Structure 1
Amino acid sequence: ALTEYGGNMMVVGGTATGKTTLMNAILLFIPSQKKIVSIEDTREINLIHENWVPMTTRPGFGQLNRETGKRNGEIDMFDLLTITMRQRPSYVVVGEVRGAEAFTLFQAMSIGRYVFGTFHADDISTFIHRMESKPINVPRNMLLTLDVVIILQNVTDERGSRRRIKTVS
């Protein structure tokens, strides 16, 4: 229902817990007439959706510009998110939320954009703490715009190592 009718979701887990794999699977259920824009550092989201616009960051070159804090030609997650909002997507998908772009992402949620993202944390309390702390600084009331948080983990037992959904909140 979240993919068909809209909502905001974060898939959260540690390294190699399957965050992007699960995100790719969930995104397949978004109706084909909806526009999806994905934003990533490294392209990992892969959709067979005709209205999908993938965007990736780009490193800059040369000296660091003192005014912007960036190199010439650099395009970061914040830049891509700003561009994305002008495109009026039905869904915004952000691979690995980790910096100042998170605040803009939550603003997008609060004005009615549907946002799905992945985030690196081992549990819900760590997720909330990291979201509320520097450099992300998302206020608790903005976190309430999330409809679903899925926590993933790796489990190792006598049968070996596997990934699983630990919690859906």
Structure 2
Amino acid sequence: MVAQRVALHRHLLDRINLGVLDTLPRAELVDEVRPLVREYVREKNFPLSARELDDLIFDTTDEMLGLGPLEPLLKDDTVSDVLVNRYNQVFVERAGVLEETDIQFKDEDHLMRIVTKIVSAVGRRVDETTPLVDARLSDGSRVNVAVRPVAVDGPMVSIRKFSKQPYTLERLIEGSSMAEAMKVLLVAAVKGRKSIIISGGTGSGKTTVLNALSSQISNAERLITIEDAAELQLQQVHVCRMETKPPTLDGKHEVRQRELLKNALRMRPDRIIVGEVRGEEAFDMLQAMNTGHEGSMCTVHANTPRDSISRLEQMIGMAGLPMSQMSIRQQVASAVDLIVQLERMHDGSRRLVSITEITGMENEVIQMQEIMAFKKTGVDAANRIQGFFCATGIRPRFLEEIAELGLYVPEEIFNPSVHLR
């Protein structure tokens, strides 16, 4: 069905004046599209009843008013990412594997019209002076756009689709992304207000895990989320969402994550959740974790737990504060309790590969201990990663502290001699 819709879109693009498409009322567009769809159905000899034909006409009209050729892909639940390299080349990711599609835009101007529609819907702009933009679709899907002059071959669009069904820890276990024992430990850590950094590379599932972990926070708490482009799917009753704002044409009135974090501290939050820490706001995030907002969470781009600590140190240095390396590390060691490390593997699978506890400082070195991990054992005949989840035998130091809150973690999940389920 998707292939038929793609072909129908091409048929319509060749016959409709795209310049007036957005100016037509829906009823008039239906009148324009109806004879063209009927002609196409007759040519292809599709056996459609009158009602099915009307449904196809109305669906097609909705797609023309939406994001055009991209609409069938956005409705396809098997697609997780849509990647437009240029107007006549579109890839998708299904089950971690990239594949090229038959979808094309009429020309570069058509693609640019869709791009403008996407970014303007969230109050942003894209042009030669602002060629790089982050935005989101109405369903929460994350969008990144690059246009000329930085995009040499014309507009490029990357869409990370928003899951219609919120991810839970149970779904991650079903998908072999983590073990049940890992869930037990992390749920106790979240409920026990341990501050957590979720670390991983691009596409490793950091936002997915952040959403899943945040679902364990009590409805009695006030949560404030801060993101460049809002995509978190928190299910709690008391959630306040904030999003950065790009500068205006004169380069003024930009609102960065650091300003949002400072403002969030004045809004009586119980926890602050930052979609991704990527700059000087790391200092303010750690300050929040250290000053009564325990249990806050954020994500960082890093390939190992130790790398994530180094990244935090570098980002705090970007704030330009008169702090020594030692004082920066003390801030990190006192603020962060756990690092959850994710990895996207070469077969496209995403796994939680390490849960690491920060235990303090020794001399000038932040001390860490791995609690649970994923161990690779090889690949199968289909080149899929094989391995198992296991405990290292080390008990987290915070277990005694959360036990005072009535939170208990069974001792057997820390047994290193058995594979975690």
> TM-score, normalization: structure 1?
0.88
Distance 2:224 2:266 in 1: 11
Alpha-carbon offset, residue 136 of structure 1: 5.8
- The alpha carbon displacement at 1:130 in A equals 1.7
Deviation digits for residues 3-29 of structure 1 (CA, Å, limit 9, x no counterpart): 223121010000000000000001011
1:1-169 → structure 2 map (5 Å cutoff): 1-64=188-251, 71-72=252-253, 74-114=254-294, 115-133=296-314, 134-135=317-318, 139-144=328-333, 145-156=335-346, 160-169=347-356
Greater shift, 100-109 or 136-145, is seen at: 136-145
Partners of 2:331 and 2:311 lie apart in 1 by: 14
What is the DSSP-based 3-state SS (H/G/I as helix, E as strand, rest coil) of the residue aligned with 1:38? strand
- The structure with the greater share of residues assigned to strand is 1
Contact 1:11–1:152 (CA under 8 A) maintained in structure 2: yes
Which range moves more in the overlay, 11-20 or 100-109? 100-109
Structure with the bigger RCO (C-alpha within 8 Å, sep 6+) is 1
Aligned twin of 1:68? none
Q: Per the alignment, do residues 2 and 88 of structure 1 end up closer, same or farther by CA in structure 2, a change over 3 Å counting? A: farther
* Consecutive unaligned residues in structure 2, runs of 5 or more: 1-187, 321-326, 357-421
Q: Pick the structure with greater CA Rg.
A: 2
Structure 1: 4+ residue segments shifted above 3 A:
none
Identical residues among aligned pairs (%): 31
Change (3 A) 1:161 1:136: farther
Matches of 1:13 and 1:122, distance apart in 2: 5
- SS of the equivalent of 1:107 reads helix
Q: Distance in 1 between matches of 2:319 and 2:352?
A: 25
Distance 2:265 2:218 in 1: 20
For the 8 Å contact 1:130–1:136, the answer to whether it is kept is: no
CA distance in 1, matches of 2:231, 2:219: 20
Q: Distance in 1 between matches of 2:319 and 2:202?
A: 19
Distance 1:128 1:100, change over 3 A: same
Structure 1 counterpart SS, 2:241? strand
AA of the residue aligned to 1:36: L
Q: What CA distance in whole angstroms lies between the structure 1 residues aligned with 2:235 and 2:308?
A: 30
CA distance in 2, matches of 1:123, 1:10: 12
- Runs of 5+ consecutive residues of structure 1 not aligned to the other structure: 65-70
Alpha-carbon offset, residue 109 of structure 1: 1.1
SS, match of residue 23 in structure 1: helix
Secondary structure, aligned partner of 1:63: coil
8 Å CA contact retained: 1:155, 1:161: yes
Task: Please tell me the root mean square deviation across aligned C-alpha atoms, in Å.
Answer: 1.5
- TM-superposed CA distance for 1:63, in Å, is 2.5
What is the aligned length? Answer: 159
| TM superposition shift of 1:57 | 0.5
Worse overlay, 108-117 or 34-43: 108-117
**SS at structure 2 position matched to 1:86:** coil
TM-fit CA distance, 1:75: 1.1
Secondary structure of 1:32's aligned partner: coil
Check whether the contact 1:57–1:76 (CA below 8 A) recurs between aligned residues: yes
C-alpha separation between the residues in 1 aligned to 2:351 and 2:284? Answer: 30
TM-score normalised to structure 2 length:
0.37
User: Which structure's residues are more often helix, by fraction?
Assistant: 2
1:47-97 deviations in Å (ceiling 9; x for gaps): 121101111001121333xxxxxx22x211011101100012111000110
